[in-house]
Amino acid sequence: MTRTCFVAGSPIAQSRSPMIHGHWIAERGLDATYQRIEAQTDVLPTLLARVRSGELLGGNLTKPLKEAALPALDTLTDDAAAMGAVNTVFVHQGKLTGANTDVPGFLAHLDETCPDWQRSVDQALVLGAGGAARAVVYGLLQRRIPRILIANRSGARAQALIDSFGGLTAGRQLCPAPWPVASSTLSSCQLVINTTSLGMVGQPALALAWPDSLDGTIVYDIVYVPLETDLLRQARRRGARTVDGLGMLLHQAAIAFGFWFGTTPQVTPELWAMVAADITGTTGS
Residues acting as catalytic residues: 66
Inter-axis angle of helices 131-142 and 102-113, nearest 10: 60
Evaluate whether 232 touches 244 at the Cβ level (below 8 Å): yes
Which of 220, 186, 17, 214 is closest to 110 using CA atoms?
Answer: 220
Whether 25 contacts 32, CB under 8 Å: yes
Q: Say how many C-beta atoms besides its own lie within 10 A of residue 146's C-beta.
A: 12
Structural contact between residues 101 and 87, judged by C-beta atoms closer than 8 angstroms? yes
Q: Report the 10 Å Cβ neighbour count for 273.
A: 10
Instruction: Provide the edge-to-edge strand list for the sheet that holds 3-9.
Output: 32-38, 3-9, 58-61, 88-92, 95-99, 75-76
Q: How far apart are CA 92 and CA 15, in angstroms?
A: 26
